[in-house]
Every structure is written in C-alpha cells, then in structure tokens.
C-alpha cells in the first residue's frame, strides 16, 4: 500500500511538472520563488544583526550572502525552466548583481575616506561585543572613547578646512559617522543602568563622543553641499542631479534601451501631439488657438469646498462603469468594495499638490488653514475636468487594482519598478482617451493637461539630472508650457527632486505607458489576444520591467545573460 501511494505521488509530480506553466501552482510560484523568499529573509536577518551601516563587517557578510545566492541560482537547470521562471531568474540575478555592485562602490568610497576615521575600529569592536552581551572592561572602554573624542576634535579641525574631498565621498563620510554614532549609542544604551562599572565610567565619554560624531557627520554633509550642482538657484529646491552616465546605467537596469536625449525626443513628439489636440479642444470651446484661455475656463470649474470627495466618487463610478461597459479588465468585487478615501494635509500638498491613490484615494483640496492664494491655486489645479483623467489612474484599474492583485498573485516578485507601477496607471489614461472617455471639450482639455504634464516630467527631470536645467527652470517650464499654477509647479518639482523619488521615477509614467501601449499593439491590435484577457494576464504577473512582461505574454524565453533590446517606440 505504501509503495502504491509513493508511485501515485511520483506520477502526480511528473504530470504536474509536464504541465507546470498552466497549473494553479505556477500561477503563484516558480523554481526561483523559494530562493528569492529565503534571500529576503536572510538579508533581513543580517541587516538587523549587523545594523551599523557602512561598517566593514556588515558589508563583508552581505557580500558573502550575495555570492552564496548567486551560486544557488546558477545551480538551477536553466534549459528546463519555463519562461516565467526564466524571467524570475534574470531579474533576481540582476538585482543581486546590482546589490553587489553597490557594496563594491561602498567599499571603494569607505577606503577613500577611512583616513578620516582612525578611531573607527575600536568603536565597531565594542558594538560587536555588545551584540553578544559580553561584559566590557568599562575603565578601558572609557579611556578608548575619551581618546576617540580627542581624535575627533583633531579631525574636525582638519576636515573643516579640507577642500579636496569630493561631494560623493563627503556624503559617504557622513554615512560612516552616523553609523559610528549608532554603534556607540547601541553599546551605551545596552549597558547603562544595568552594569554598575559601565554606568560609573561611561556617561561622560559617551556624551562627548556622541556630540562629536554628530558634529562630524554634519561637517561632512556641509562639504557635500559644496557641490555646484546642488546650490540654491532661488527656488529653495536643492536636489542631487546624478549626471548622464548614471542615468544611462539606471535605464539599462530598468530595461529601457534608450539614451536620455532619445527619451527627451520621445517626450517632445508626444508633447507636440498633445498641443495639436489641445488646439482642437480650444477651438471647440470657442477660444480659437488660445488654448491657455480655454484651460483657464476649465480651471474655474471647481466644486464648492466640502464637495470634492463626492465629486471624486462620481468620477470613480463613471470610470468603473466605462471599464465594465467596454469589458476592458476583470475587476474583483472585493477590490471595488474595499478601497478607501482620505484627504491630504496642507503639509503633504506642498509636495503632492494633486491627489494620490492606491488602496486609498488621497484627495488634494484646500483647507481652511491655507492662505487665500494657495487655496485658489489648489482649487484650480484640482478641478473635475483635470481629475477625470486620473481617478482611474489612482484607483481601478490603476494603482488600486495593482496593489490588490500584487498581494494575491506572485507576491514573491519584488521587482518593483515605476515603469510597471506608474506606466500601467498612465496606460489607462491613454487607453480611456482612445476609447472615448472624455465627454466634452472641457474633459479633453483636462485629460490633455495631464498628458502634457507626463511629457513635461520626462523633459524637465532628465534635463535636470544631466545638468542642463536648474530647479527654477523646471518650474518655469511647467508654468509656461503646461500652464501649471506656479505653486503646483513648485510642488511638482520639489516632489521630483527632494521627495525621495528615484531619478527615473518621473519619466516612468509616460515611458512605461508607451511600453504597455506597444505591447497592446503586438498582442491585442494584431488579434492574438482579446483586450480583457491581455489586461488580466498582465495584472496577474506582478511588478517587473515591462520587457519581461512581454517575454512572458509572448512566451519568448529570455537568454540567461539577457540584455534589454526592445525598442518599443520608433525614432
């Protein structure tokens, strides 16, 4: 009986293996899944244990971890892997190699500035002993920390007059100083009050050392700000433009085979289309070629204070009804039922002047605490015709559906990229335009404003990061070319360069949308798939570069040493 049961299990396993791309199991997992999940858990354990950032010990352990997992990945039988698993393999390997490269860069920069930290080894060693609760020689440790304080005073005097330190190295120096400050605090907090000898010897050396490390980190940060590209141009916005070469490297990582200048050309072509359509809408509204006049009328169509949430709910209901009428995508009833709504605070509106979304719709509208001019600009920038273009971007079938499905399908895939996240949401703006969602010339003006805005994001963000424009030039461009309210333009630029977004984030909306649009032409417009199946298939694959989505949907096995080559927009 036992032998029969074992044979049955083997038969089931072989059958499942033969059918693996089509089974429910393979809708959720792959041969790379367990490796990825275990890596995330192992890395998390290491980062929590070796918690001092920039320390050699932490870096060496993470380097070994990545080498071990690259070896585990290479042990898989590549030739037998189905297309979805190969996508996981390629993307996970890409991430490991990027993390390894980042650690190599960290080591190089650490070595370049270690002369500024002659006291570091003793501080790292004390923290390492603390992690295992070893009883310290408090008298000796107090002497060591007191000496480290003296060394720091000398280093501070030298550093303040150092004009040779590059901004990037100064930033690394600040990170090392903050890491050492964390190590010292962790050691002190563990023993103080519990170990009598430690509690007697250590308070004064600790307070001195903590204060000096804080000053040291601040001095490094001030040196980093000497970078001419990070000076205030009058806008009050000081970011960190990374340069053409760094942008190209990031684009290749995101599987975008275009140079920055080519992406700006794409944006300009799309912008020219928008301007032609804007003139048509302006003429239909009776403004002739004065499209800014037509836009001013649209900006004046706001609802009364207190009515914005209901107005957004009505737009949401219209967009969902439109999706269902045209059978564009399957909407899970629970996703429709459980999305939430909230209001953006005045503080958040300084960097997010328009509403945001996901599982929760965050509405931008003036509050009673804003001054009059800011109130009027917020009201005008959040009128119903503008909002018509982006409710479905933020909720269904955009970010709200993405978050819902990502939690339920292939949740192990952590290949997050704005070209998938924002590109998918922007794609729906373009698709609903093509399907006739705008009902009036005013709606078209509102939706075109946002499309122009997405084009402008590519132009101003790449021009900034390649050192061609300053933040103020970016603000002026949004005001003059897109007809933004100035306060909203300032908020947009501030968000782009100081809001914690990556250098490619703002270009990902339009470029990612164009990728999904090109894929739709290949599969839907050609008759190979119907449009609902196309959208359902994409949203069940979870986040990844769109070129990998294309490989999966077209069942094209990627090469083991895959390099991006999909020129999705002809130039």
Best CA proximity match to 513, nearest among 464, 451, 446 = 451
Residue 375 confidence (pLDDT) above 80: yes
- Mean pLDDT for 266-278 is 98
- 172 CA to centre of own chain: 22
What share of the chain has pLDDT > 90, as a percent?
A: 86
- 418 CA to centre of own chain: 6
Tens-place pLDDT, residues 509-558: 999 999 999 999 999 999 999 999 999 999 999 999 999 999 999 999 99
The whole-number pLDDT of residue 26 equals 66
- Give dist(CA 92, CA 270) in Å, integer: 33
Residue 15 confidence (pLDDT) above 80: no
- Mean pLDDT for 144-151 is 97
Buried b (16+ CB within 10 A) or exposed e, 514-546: bbbbbbbeebbeeeebebeebbeebbebbbbbb
Tens-place pLDDT, residues 467-508: 999 999 999 999 999 999 898 899 899 999 998 999 999 999
- Mean pLDDT for 103-121 is 97
Q: Supply the mean pLDDT for the chain.
A: 93
- Mean pLDDT for 52-79 is 98
Token readout for 497 is 């360069």
Tens-place pLDDT, residues 233-256: 889 998 889 999 999 999 999 999
Residue 27 confidence (pLDDT) above 80: no
What share of the chain has pLDDT > 70, as a percent?
A: 95
Tens-place pLDDT, residues 277-307: 999 999 999 999 999 999 999 999 999 999 9
CB 173 within 8 A of CB 220: yes
Residue 86 confidence (pLDDT) above 50: yes
- Per-residue confidence band for 2, with pLDDT thresholds at 50, 70 and 90: very low
Strands 340-343 and 360-363: parallel
- Give dist(CA 465, CA 245) in Å, integer: 10
Q: At what angle do helices 546-553 and 531-539 cross, to 10 degrees?
A: 120
- Give dist(CA 20, CA 88) in Å, integer: 15
For residue 342, give the H/E element and its range.
strand 340-343
Tens-place pLDDT, residues 325-367: 999 999 999 999 999 999 999 988 877 888 889 999 999 999 9
Token readout for 335 is 């996703």
Q: How many CB atoms lie under 10 A from the CB of residue 559?
A: 9
What phi and psi values does residue 231 have, to the nearest 5 degrees? Answer: -80, 155
Token readout for 459 is 């132009």
- Give dist(CA 157, CA 409) in Å, integer: 56
- Mean pLDDT for 397-406 is 97
The whole-number pLDDT of residue 354 equals 84
């Amino acid at each position: 009986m036992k032998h029969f049961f074992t044979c049955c299990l083997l038969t089931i396993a072989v059958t499942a293996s033969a059918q693996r791309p089509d089974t429910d199991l393979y809708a959720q997992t792959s041969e790379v899944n367990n490796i990825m999940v275990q890596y995330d858990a192992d890395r998390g354990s290491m980062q929590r244990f070796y918690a001092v950032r920039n320390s050699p010990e932490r870096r060496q352990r993470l380097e070994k971890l990545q080498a071990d997992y690259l070896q585990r990945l290479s042990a898989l039988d590549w030739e037998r892997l189905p297309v979805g698993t190969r996508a996981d393999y390629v993307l996970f390997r890409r991430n490991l190699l990027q993390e390894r490269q980042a650690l190599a860069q960290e080591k190089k920069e650490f070595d370049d500035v270690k002369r500024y930290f002659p006291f570091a080894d003793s501080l790292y060693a004390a923290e390492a002993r603390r992690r295992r609760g070893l009883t310290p020689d408090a008298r000796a440790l107090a002497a060591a920390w007191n000496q480290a304080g003296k060394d720091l005073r000398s280093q501070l005097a030298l550093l303040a007059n150092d004009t040779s330190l590059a901004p990037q190295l100064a930033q690394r120096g600040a990170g090392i100083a903050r890491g050492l400050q964390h190590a010292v605090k962790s050691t002190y907090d563990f023993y103080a009050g519990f170990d009598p000898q430690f509690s007697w010897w250590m308070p004064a050396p600790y307070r001195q050392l903590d204060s000096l490390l804080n000053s040291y980190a601040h001095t490094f940060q001030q040196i980093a700000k000497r970078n001419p590209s990070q000076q205030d141009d009058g806008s009050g916005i000081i970011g960190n433009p990374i340069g053409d070469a760094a942008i190209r490297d990031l684009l290749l990582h995101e599987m975008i085979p275009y140079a920055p200048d080519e992406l700006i050309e794409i944006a300009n072509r799309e912008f020219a289309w928008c301007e032609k359509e804007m003139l048509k809408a302006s003429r239909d509204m009776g403004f002739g070629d004065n499209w800014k006049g037509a836009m001013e009328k649209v900006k004046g169509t706001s609802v009364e204070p207190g009515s914005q949430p209901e107005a957004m709910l009505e737009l949401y209901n219209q967009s969902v009804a439109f999706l269902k009428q045209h059978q564009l995508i399957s909407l899970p009833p629970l996703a429709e039922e459980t999305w939430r709504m909230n209001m953006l605070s005045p503080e958040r509106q300084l960097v997010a002047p328009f509403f945001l979304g996901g599982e929760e719709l965050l509405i931008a509208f003036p509050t009673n605490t804003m001054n009059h001019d800011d109130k009027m600009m917020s009201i005008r920038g959040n009128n119903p015709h503008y909002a018509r273009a982006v409710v479905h971007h933020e909720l269904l079938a955009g970010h709200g559906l993405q978050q819902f499905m990502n939690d339920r399908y292939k949740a192990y895939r952590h290949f997050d990229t704005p070209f998938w996240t924002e590109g998918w949401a922007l794609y729906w703006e373009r698709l609903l335009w093509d399907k006739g969602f705008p009902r009036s010339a005013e709606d078209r003006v509102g939706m075109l404003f946002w499309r122009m805005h997405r084009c402008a994001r590519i132009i101003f963000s790449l021009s900034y990061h390649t050192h061609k424009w300053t933040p103020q030039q970016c603000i002026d461009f949004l005001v003059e070319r897109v007809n933004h309210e100035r306060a909203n333009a300032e908020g947009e630029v501030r968000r782009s360069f100081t809001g914690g977004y990556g250098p490619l984030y703002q270009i990902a909306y339009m470029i990612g949308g164009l990728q999904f649009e090109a894929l739709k032409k290949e599969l839907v417009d050609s008759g190979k798939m119907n449009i609902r199946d196309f959208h359902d298939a994409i949203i069940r694959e979870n986040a990844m570069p769109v070129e990998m989505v294309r490989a999966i949907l077209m069942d094209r096995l990627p090469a083991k040493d895959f390099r991006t080559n999909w020129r999705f927009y002809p130039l």
